[in-house]
Amino acid sequence: MNALMEHNASEAGAAGFLHRFEGLRERLPGQGLPWLASLRARAAEAFRAQGFPTRKVEAWRYTDLAPLTQAGFGEPLTPVDGALVLPRSAAPKRLVFVDGRFREDLSDEGSPARSLARHLPEAEGLLGSIARIDDLPLVALNTALFEDGALIDLGEGVDGGVVEILSVTSAGRPVAAHPRHLVRLAAGARLVLIERAWSAEQDPAEGEGRYLHSPVWEFVVGEDAHVTHARLQQEGRAGLHLATTFARVKASGTYDSFLLHAGARLSRSEAHVTLAGPRAAAHLNGAQLLGDGQHGDCTTFLDHAAPDCPSRQTVKTVLAGKSRGVFQGKIHVHQVAQRTDGYQMNQALLLSDQAEIDSKPQLEIYADDVKCSHGATVGELDESQLFYLRARGIPEGVARSMLIEAFLLEAVEGVADEAARAALAEVVAGSWERLA
């Protein structure tokens, strides 16, 4: 698609979503709240001005949103009722959203996680406090159209335990869901959050199961607070997953995240993390398992805005068939951020000569007392290791699976929380069979 055609498709796709906003705006949650109605209207205008990003935008150079702009998405006009087959939960408390709407009958609502739509007055001053709409059109679209999401607000010193947020797309419904999730931890609070994106139809028939899931998260992490955010993206193979996360970490706080892309036709997870106070820390690790026809994009922006802050990032990608992986990671160190310690690494394992990886690690440093490094490696399975296993009677398929899982589990082992680590490891297990 040439640049003009791509621009026209972007405008046409954006027009459909704007038409949907105009039709829904009086029925969206919180219209009786002046601050929220104003925010939605401003977000819609920001999206109208920008449209969907094209590959002329540097941050979207490697990811083409043509499957989104060319598709016609609707909305679930009535709540989805009836039983759904859900994945096993790794948490004692779970909130379930189906097509972007809260399902009370499937959820354990209560402290610390609640439905945002039911508690919108409490979100004033938090919703939109760190998310950007003027230069991030997908965030603007989410702000205009969100119907629900999770609200987690922990007081000083509170341990929120382990909570799972499960977003389900019902089978065969060409819908677009834009959930908005808000998390705030006061000083000294603790939380383990397992986020899972799931489709009721993992392997739809040709032409069926198309949908868009475009969540936005906002994390405000107080002084000496700690949040673990384990993300399992297991969308159906026809789904489009476009997620954006914002985190602002105060002094001595920690935002520790792990992303696992293991589904969707096209997925992009974008994270914007600001280390705003001395000794704040961020871990943005992850893995992508991409099979034939899949496109996975992991893009991060890590802003060191205070001194003495460490950050760590390792992203591993396994690609099979005709798949494409993208890693873009930028570390920005402000002049005030002396004694920054930043590390960034992208490693890719190609299982096919048709697979492609685009890797773009970046450092932008304005301080003079820093320790920052980045790197990227691309390779194939080690033939000597494969021969070693086969020589001991292990079938080739099993041997390959063992090596792939070892490659990925090395990253997963860095997740400190046992429940989150187990949930991630379960998805990684048998990865070769799913990719083959």
b/e per residue 133-153 (b: at least 16 CB within 10 A):
beebbbbbbbbbbbbbbbbbb
Q: Do 147 and 265 sit in the same domain of this protein? A: yes
pLDDT, residue 83, reads 65
Q: Is 294 part of any domain?
A: no
| Structure-block tokens of residue 224 | 């000496």
Q: Is 355 part of any domain?
A: no
Task: Write down which residue in 220, 249, 276 finishes a domain.
Answer: 276
Q: Do 109 and 229 sit in the same domain of this protein? A: yes
pLDDT in 10s for each residue of the chain, 436 residues: 555 555 555 666 788 889 888 888 888 999 899 999 999 999 999 999 999 999 999 999 999 998 887 767 766 545 545 567 788 887 889 999 999 999 998 898 677 899 999 999 999 999 999 999 999 999 999 999 999 999 999 999 999 999 999 999 876 667 899 999 999 999 999 999 999 999 876 555 444 568 899 999 999 999 999 999 999 999 988 899 999 999 999 999 999 999 999 999 999 999 999 999 999 999 999 999 999 999 999 999 999 999 999 999 999 999 999 999 999 999 999 999 999 999 999 999 999 999 999 999 999 999 999 999 988 898 888 778 877 677 777 887 777 778 888 888 888 887 888 888 888 888 888 666 666 5
Task: Name 10's Cβ contacts closer than 8 Å, sequence gap at least 6.
Answer: 51, 52, 53, 54, 65, 69
Q: Do 23 and 164 sit in the same domain of this protein? A: yes
Q: Is 413 part of any domain?
A: yes
Task: Write down which residue in 243, 276, 309 finishes a domain.
Answer: 276
- Kindly state the DSSP code that residue 57 receives in the 8-state scheme: S
Let me know: does 73 contact 177? Beta carbons within 8 Å.
no
Q: Is 336 part of any domain?
A: no
| Domain residue limits at 428 | 383-436
Closest C-alpha to 88, from 149, 193, 7, 164:
164
Residue 110 CB neighbour total at 10 angstroms: 9
pLDDT, residue 383, reads 78
pLDDT, residue 398, reads 77
Domains held by the chain: number: 2
Determine the Cα–Cα distance for residues 150 and 217; give it in Å rounded to an integer.
9
Q: Is 373 part of any domain?
A: no
Is the entire prediction scored with pTM above 0.85?
yes
Containing 143, the helix (H) or strand (E) segment is: helix 137-145
Q: Do 240 and 102 sit in the same domain of this protein? A: yes
Determine the Cα–Cα distance for residues 354 and 378; give it in Å rounded to an integer.
14
SS3 90: coil
Task: Write down which residue in 276, 293, 314 finishes a domain.
Answer: 276
Q: Do 108 and 243 sit in the same domain of this protein? A: yes
Q: Is 313 part of any domain?
A: no
Closest C-alpha to 270, from 217, 219, 346:
217
Q: Is 316 part of any domain?
A: no
Determine the Cα–Cα distance for residues 52 and 56; give it in Å rounded to an integer.
11
| Structure-block tokens of residue 55 | 């590959």
Q: Is 388 part of any domain?
A: yes
The amino acid at residue 387 is: F
pLDDT, residue 77, reads 46
Q: Do 391 and 265 sit in the same domain of this protein? A: no
Contacts of 19-23 with C-beta under 8 Å, sequence gap 24+, read 20/75, 20/145, 20/176, 21/144, 21/145
